[in-house]
A and B are shown apart, each in its own frame.
Chain A
Amino acid sequence: MDRKLFHWIIWIFLLSGLLLAVGLFSLCIGSSSIPIKEIISLPLTDRHTTEYSIIFDIRLPRIVLAFAVGGALSIAGVIFQGIFRNPLVEPYTLGVSGGAALGVCLSIVFKLNRIFGFNLFPLVGFLGALLAIFLVYLISSRQGTLKITNLLLTGVMMSFICSSLIMLIMAISRLEDLHGIIFWIMGSLEECDWMLIKIALLVAILGIFISLFFAQDLNAFSLGEEEALHLGINVERTKKLLFVFASLLTGASVSVSGIIGFVGLVVPHFVRMFVGQDHGILLIASGLCGGMFLILCDTLARTVMAPLELPVGVITGIVGGTLFVYFLSKRQLILGTKGA
């Protein structure tokens, strides 16, 4: 069999297996731990037990959402790092999250939820993200071409402007609103609306398929824009499409779950160390790994100091950062064994 195909299949099986294990583990533990045997037989039993509702109404939605958000953010991270050819870029660098957060802040301050009578955050968050993307795109494109350095600078500035405006709003808003703003910004996967979770999952799945469509283009981009053009890539069009696509992916995730940091930065790097630079497997593995990572972090967030629930962004930062630094220092070792 083709060696590359073999390599890919091994990784996909391994990660899918790990994902399943992490998912089951996360279903088991919590304020009341339910043994794995019961979980497996649960779908066949009575629907009205407490266990049934804990599993299917509380834990499963969180796990599915964590998978979708983690996966989508990681894929967006791979794409951004690919087109910017900059290892420090992550999905939130370009002001998408800032726009979303600003939208949500405004809706909290103006009490839009109460006026409209339903949870408006995902919608205003997404609108805010769209507006930020649109502005960044408009400002940084000139005469039909999108300059990557312009895009990066404009995006970072957009990010700063948004966060300053958010701080301004926080400084003048009342205590109860402040609480809401901070909680949203820290990010949470507690979402009881199945509809939204299904949308998030759909976005993540679409995300992986669409990004795979561009896998070869991203590989060519790793040589630089001009070289990519020499390899027959329509660089300008591809860059624009990928920027908008990855931003939408980020915006959709942020508007459902708030700003969960670090996933989109650390997972692509981490995966790249193990599976290599080919964007085909890199995208698939990052999607799976990102989902798994966020499920794990969320499980920790809700169990470490139970009944107190920690913000999941805190865990992603601490766990992800530590693991990443550890593996970075061991990288020589890993590459060495791979090369031999």
Chain B
Amino acid sequence: MLEVKGLTCGYDRRFLLQDINFKVRKGEFLGIIGPNGSGKTTLLRAITKVLRPEKGEIILDGKDINHYGFKELARKIAVVSQKVDSFALNLTVKEYVLLGRIPFRKRFQFLETRRDKEIAHKALAITGILSLAQRPIAEMSGGEKQCAIIARALAQEPQVLLLDEPTTHLDIGHQIKILDLIRKLNKERQLTVIIILHDLNLASEYCERLLLLRGGKIYRMGSPEEVLTYPIIEEVYGTLVVVKKSPVSSRPLVCLVPEGIQNASKG
């Protein structure tokens, strides 16, 4: 589905990402993890053509993304951002979600087609915010806003969904709700998901494979069991952890070790 080959990329000739190679299968749920500044968001921005790669290529469905038109690419890849821009807060949820149909509009086409409306309706329904459709975004809670952003991305009818820390500002209830929703979309629609997560335990629970970045390079790539081991995490994040098996899913569970306890166990 998506293949990144020898990607080197950065800002103003400082190369943040160096020689990145990986493949994502159709319908896969891939997590990208790594410390701050390791290049997670940069990688996402390269895939969406926000940044031009210095070297290497990114191949989507057998075709280099540089050979896609902007609209054509937007009909394949949708991005879920962290928050709604303040300039868009006056829109109603429905208007906001309908913006996701822009890649399908023609010039001078001002009205939504029936199909546009149906798709927006479905996106609102599956994200559970249909009842809020006529309300302004500004009045919604953080979790509801995140649902609206996902609904807008779904209105693009993408094959690949990219998410940049979609759960950062949410409580645990909403974190689970959002990730369950994404997993459901992944399973039911064969949607390929590439998601950046900071919370290693959420990454462990939901992702089939993890890509661990360190200093702009791939440090490890594999199943959560392969990547989330205590030597790897301590090396990359520079902090002590204890990795256990989750009693619920038997996936790796990363426990943090605060300084006080470190000293106590030494003593």
Interface residues of A (CB under 8 A from B): 2, 4-5, 8, 85, 212-213, 215-216, 219-220, 222-224, 226-227, 229-234, 276-278, 280-281, 335, 339
Tell me if B70 and A223 are in contact (CB < 8 A): no
Q: Which single residue of chain A is at the shortest CB-CB distance from B109?
A: A216
Complex A-B, nearest 8 residue pairs according to Cβ-Cβ distance, in ascending order: A232-B74, A232-B71, A232-B103, A280-B110, A224-B85, A230-B79, A231-B102, A232-B70
- Contact residues on B (Cβ < 8 Å of other chain), bracket: 35 or more
Q: Which single residue of chain B is at the shortest CB-CB distance from A2?
A: B111
Interface residue ranges of B48-82 to A (CB < 8 Å)? 48-50, 69-75, 77-79, 81
Q: Is the interface of B mostly helix, strand, loop or mixed?
A: loop
Tell me if B75 and A232 are in contact (CB < 8 A): yes
A223 to B111, CA, bound (A): 19
Partner among A216, A227, A276, A277 whose Cβ is within 8 Å of the Cβ of B105:
A216
Tell me if B48 and A230 are in contact (CB < 8 A): yes
Please name 8 further chain A to chain B contacts, defined as beta carbons within 8 Å, in addition to the given A216-B105, A222-B91, A231-B74, sorted by A numbering: A2-B111, A212-B108, A223-B85, A229-B48, A231-B99, A231-B100, A277-B95, A339-B136
- Could you write out 30 A-B pairs with CB less than 8 Å apart? A2-B112, A4-B111, A4-B112, A5-B111, A8-B110, A215-B110, A216-B107, A220-B102, A222-B85, A222-B87, A222-B91, A223-B87, A223-B99, A227-B79, A227-B81, A229-B49, A229-B50, A230-B48, A230-B79, A231-B74, A231-B99, A231-B103, A232-B70, A232-B71, A232-B72, A234-B70, A278-B95, A280-B110, A281-B110, A335-B136
Q: Which single residue of chain B is at the shortest CB-CB distance from A228?
A: B102
A224 to B79, CA, bound (A): 13
A223 to B107, CA, bound (A): 19
Q: Which single residue of chain B is at the shortest CB-CB distance from A217?
A: B102
Tell me if A227 and B85 are in contact (CB < 8 A): yes
How far in angstroms is the closest Cβ of chain B from A152?
A: 15
Contacts of B110 in A (CB 8 A): 8, 212, 215, 278, 280-281
Tell me if A216 and B87 are in contact (CB < 8 A): no
A2 to B71, CA, bound (A): 26
A276 to B77, CA, bound (A): 29
Listed residue (A85, A216, A234) with the most chain B CB atoms within 10 angstroms of its CB? A216
Tell me if A213 and B111 are in contact (CB < 8 A): no
B8 contacts A by Cβ under 8 Å: no
Contacts of B75 in A (CB 8 A): 232
Interface residues of B (CB under 8 A from A): 45, 48-50, 69-75, 77-79, 81, 84-85, 87-88, 90-91, 95, 99-100, 102-103, 105, 107-112, 134-136, 156
Q: Which single residue of chain B is at the shortest CB-CB distance from A234?
A: B70
Tell me if B70 and A233 are in contact (CB < 8 A): yes
How far in angstroms is the closest Cβ of chain A from B29?
A: 20
How far in angstroms is the closest Cβ of chain B from A126?
A: 28
Contacts of B107 in A (CB 8 A): 213, 216
Contacts of B78 in A (CB 8 A): 230
Q: Which single residue of chain B is at the shortest CB-CB distance from A87?
A: B87
Tell me if B111 and A339 are in contact (CB < 8 A): no
A216 to B135, CA, bound (A): 22
How far in angstroms is the closest Cβ of chain B from A212?
A: 6
A232 to B76, CA, bound (A): 10
A3 to B179, CA, bound (A): 35
Q: Which single residue of chain A is at the shortest CB-CB distance from B107?
A: A213
Contacts of B73 in A (CB 8 A): 232
Tell me if B85 and A233 are in contact (CB < 8 A): no
A45 to B73, CA, bound (A): 63
Contacts of A223 in B (CB 8 A): 84-85, 87-88, 99
Q: Which single residue of chain A is at the shortest CB-CB distance from B78?
A: A230
Tell me if A339 and B134 are in contact (CB < 8 A): yes
How far in angstroms is the closest Cβ of chain B from A285?
A: 13
Tell me if A230 and B74 are in contact (CB < 8 A): yes
A281 to B95, CA, bound (A): 14
Contacts of A281 in B (CB 8 A): 110
A223 to B99, CA, bound (A): 9
Tell me if B50 and A222 are in contact (CB < 8 A): no
How far in angstroms is the closest Cβ of chain B from A334?
A: 12
A213 to B48, CA, bound (A): 25
A215 to B108, CA, bound (A): 8
Tell me if A220 and B99 are in contact (CB < 8 A): yes
A11 to B130, CA, bound (A): 28
